[in-house]
Structure 1
C-alpha cells in the first residue's frame, strides 16, 4: 500500500496541470518530466520511511515510471487519450506488483473469481450496464424524435443510464430506497431545463419513457440479483 500511496501522491496530488501541458509540449526536453520523476522518488522514500533495504525496488519503480511516462508522451498523438491513460496507469500498477513480488512473493488465485457468487455479480453488473442499454435503445427506438440542434455528447445518454442503474443497484443492496427517489428527483431537475426550453412534446415523452424504463429495469434486475444470491447462500 505504501507504493500505491506514493504513486497516487506523485501522479495525481503533486502534479499541477501546467506540468502536464509542459510535458506534452516538450516531451523528453521538459524539465517538468524530470521534476515529476524526482517527486516520485521522494514520495517512495517517505512512504517507505527511508528504509534503504528497498533501494533496488525504489530505483526500479522510478526508472520504469520515467520510461512509461516518456513513452506515453510520444504515443499521445497516436493513441486515444482515455485509453492511453488507462494503459499508463495499468503499467505503473503492474510495475508496483512486480516490485512487491520481488520482496514478498505471492500468488494470485484466479479460481476465486469463478465462484458462483462472483460470477452472479459479474453477470448482473453486465445486465445492469451494457445489456440494459442495448435493450432500452431497441425498446424506445420507435419513439426517438429527430435531432434538432444542440446534439448531445456521443453516447452520453447511454453512460448516464449505466451510472444511474449502478447507483440504483447499490441503493437496493444497502436497502436505501430513498436514494432512488433522490436520484430520480436530481435527474428530473437537470432535465427540466431541457424540457422547458422545447416545444417538442415528443422529446418530453421520449425522455420520460426512457427514464421510467431505465429505473424499472434497474429495480427488477437488483431484486433478481438479491433473490438469486440468497438462493446460492442457502444451497
Structure 2
C-alpha cells in the first residue's frame, strides 16, 4: 500500500476505534436503536475522522465515513435488534467498518483534488506512528475486551454468572486483561518475545492455582486467559506491522 494510502488508512482506523470503543458508552450501545443516540454516535464518528485526517477544508471524506458507518449500524440494528452481546453480529459489524476504511484508503483522492492534510508537510511519519500506537492500545484493551467478553461464553456454552466465584474486586478482571495485553504489545514491539512467554506462563500458573476446585471453573478461567493472550499477541503483531 503506498504511503499516501496510509495517510488515509491510519487516521480513519484510529477515528473508528476512538468513536466505537473509547467514546461510545454501554448506555449508548443499548439505546442506539433510538434516533438521538444513533445520531450522536455517527456525528462523533464523523468528527473524529475530520479532526484526525487533518484536512480542515475537506468535508467529503468525513461525510462518506458518516454515511457508511451509519448505514452499517442501521443494517446491524435491523437484523439483530438489540442483541448487543451477539458475537457474530459484533464480528460482522467490525469487519464491515474495516472493509469500508480499506476501500476509502484505496482511492487516489489526489487525482480529484481532495485530501491535503496539514501534517503531510510537517512530520507525517511521527504523526501516523502516534495514531498507530493509539489504535493498537485501544484495539488491545477496549476492542479486545469486548470481543473476549462475547466469545468466551459462546465458545464454552457457559454463562459466567453461573460459575461459583467470589465477588473479587469490582472490574479487576477487565483491568488485568487490559494491562496484560498492553504488556504483550510492549514486549512484541520491543522484540522481547521471551518476556511475553514468561508473562503467559506466570499468568496461567497463577490463575490455575487460584481457581476454584471446580474443574468447570478452572477450565473456564484458563481458556479465558489463553484467549486473552492469543488476541493480545495477534493485535500486537498487527500494530507492529502498521507502525513499520
Q: TM-score w.r.t. structure 1 length? A: 0.48
Largest Rg, 1 or 2: 1
Q: TM-score w.r.t. structure 2 length? A: 0.47
Higher relative contact order (CA 8 A, sep 6+): 2
